[in-house]
Every structure is written in structure tokens, then in C-alpha cells.
Structure 1
Amino acid sequence: MTIRSILDEKGRDVVTIKPTATLGEAARMLGEKRIGAVVVTAGDRKILGILSERDIVRVIGEKGADGLSQPVGDAMTAKVSTCRETHTINDVMEVMTRGRFRHLPVERDGHLDGIISIGDVVKRRIEEVEREAEQIREYIATA
């Protein structure tokens, strides 16, 4: 099972933000969209970074509410781990667990092509395990 199957089901739309936007604008966007991270791009779909709720909380913890006027580019994670739609669910689970992050942009030809969350990956993995268990039950019943 590959990342393509997740993207085919959920779509490839990704909420993005420019690095010049403020953390306050980003926080509002996350709340309105009910998401945990936005991908930072310059408009050409080239991934510059990713900004998560954790990044915003870290800045507020360090600078207080004044930190919300800071540009996204100063708080984002610039070294972004990405995957491709050909990666397997297990590959991505390992990357996300090792890196301790919940969102992973999908990249194609150096540009943003989608995003997956740990929730997407776990849901798909559970479906896969349930399908395998059902196949084993059917095999045993017919043996």
C-alpha cells in the first residue's frame, strides 16, 4: 500500500502560507481550517518549510503574545522531511515516528503534491490489517 492510495482518497489539496505571513495569521488559518500544520511555499509550490502548532506554541512560550507578529519564515521548520507517492505506508510510519512529527508533505519533481498526516497513515494501516485478518479467516474457513 502506497501513499498514492491515501492521496487518491483524500485529495492533493494542501493549505500553504507564505514565509512573510505572521504567526498570528498562521494561527488563525490553522484554527479556521482545523488543521495542525501548513506548508510554507513562495507560491510556486516549492517547499520552503513547514509550520506546525508546536512551532507557534514554542514562539509564544519564548516571546509571549508579541511572538505572533513574527514572520512564519522565522519560526518554520526549514529542513522538511518529505515523501513521494510511491513510498509505502510502513516507510512513512517509520519516518514520522523517528522524526516525531505528525505531518509529511508529499513531493513530486521538487514541488508540493500533497500532504499526509499520521492520522491518514494509521487509518490506512488499520484498514490493511483488518483486510489481512479477514483474508486469513476466510482461508481458514475454507481449508
Structure 2
Amino acid sequence: MTVAAILARKGRDVLTVPADTIIHDAVRLLSERRIGAVVVADSSRRIEGIVSERDIVRAIARGGVETLDGPVSSIMTARVVTCADHDTINDVMARMTEGRFRHLPVVDGGRIAGIVSIGDVVKARIEQVEREADEMRAYIAMA
């Protein structure tokens, strides 16, 4: 299964914010949308960074709550690891595990084309394993 299959089911909508967004406003968006990260992108939808709940917690631990008054560009992860539609679930799981992050933007032609979370990937992998088990049971039953 590929990233494209995951996005075909969940959709390609991605919440993005400009780099000058105030962190407090980004926190509000994360809470309202019940998501764990927001992509920082320019007006052409080119990724400039990503801000996760973890980034925000670390920033507050370093600088106190006053940090929330600054721009997301001051705390975002600027070197964003991405994936493409053709990447497999196993490829994506490996990147997420190695990088220790839970959100992976999908890029097409240098622009954001979707986002997958660890929950999306685990759900797809479980479905894949269940389907393989069903096929194996059907094969054994026919023998």
C-alpha cells in the first residue's frame, strides 16, 4: 500500500500557516482541529517548516509561556522530512521511526500535497495485515 492510497481515503487537505503566525494562534488551531502538527508554508504552498505539539512544549520549557507570543518560525522544525505519493507504508513507517516524529508531509512538485500521521499509517498497515490474513485463510480453506 502507498501514501496515495492513504490520501485517497483520508483526503489531501492540509492545514498550513505562514511563518509569521503567532505561536499562540497555532496552538489554538491545533486544539480546535484536534491535530498534532501544522505545516508552515508560503503562499505557493512550499514547505518552510512544521510545528508539532512537541515543538511547542519544548519551546515553553526553554523560554516560558512568553514564547507563545513569538512567531512559529522561531520554534518550527525547518528541515522537514517529507514523502511522496508513491512511497510505501513501510518506507513511511521507517522514516517516522528513525526521525521520531508522527507527521509526514506529502510533497508533489515541491508543494504540499497532503500529510500522513502515524495513526494513518498504523491503520493502513493493520488493514493490510488483516487482508493478507483473510487471503491466507481463504487459500487454506480451498486446499
Residue 2 of structure 2 corresponds to which residue in structure 1?
2
- Give the 3-state SS of the residue equivalent to 1:38 in structure 2: strand
Residues 47-98 of structure 1: per-residue CA shift (max 9 Å, x gap) = 0000000111111111111000111001000000000000000100000001
Q: Which segments of 5 or more consecutive residues in structure 1 lack a partner in the other structure? A: none
- Give the 3-state SS of the residue equivalent to 1:29 in structure 2: helix
- Give the 3-state SS of the residue equivalent to 1:4 in structure 2: helix
- Give the 3-state SS of the residue equivalent to 1:58 in structure 2: helix
C-alpha distance in structure 2 between counterparts of 1:136 and 1:114, whole Å = 33
Residue 57 of structure 1 corresponds to which residue in structure 2?
57
Residue 27 of structure 1 corresponds to which residue in structure 2?
27
Shift, 1:27, TM fit? 0.3
Residue 129 of structure 2 corresponds to which residue in structure 1?
129
Q: Which segments of 5 or more consecutive residues in structure 2 lack a partner in the other structure? A: none
Equivalence map 1:1-143=2 (5 Å): 1-143=1-143
Residues 20-48 of structure 1: per-residue CA shift (max 9 Å, x gap) = 01110110010000000000011210000
C-alpha distance in structure 2 between counterparts of 1:43 and 1:53, whole Å = 23
C-alpha distance in structure 2 between counterparts of 1:43 and 1:36, whole Å = 22
* TM-score normalised to structure 1 length: 0.99
Q: Alignment RMSD, CA only?
A: 0.5
* Displacement over 4 Å in runs of 4+: none
What amino acid is the match of 1:46? R
- Give the 3-state SS of the residue equivalent to 2:21 in structure 1: coil
Q: Give % identity.
A: 57
What amino acid is the match of 2:51? L
* TM-score normalised to structure 2 length: 0.99
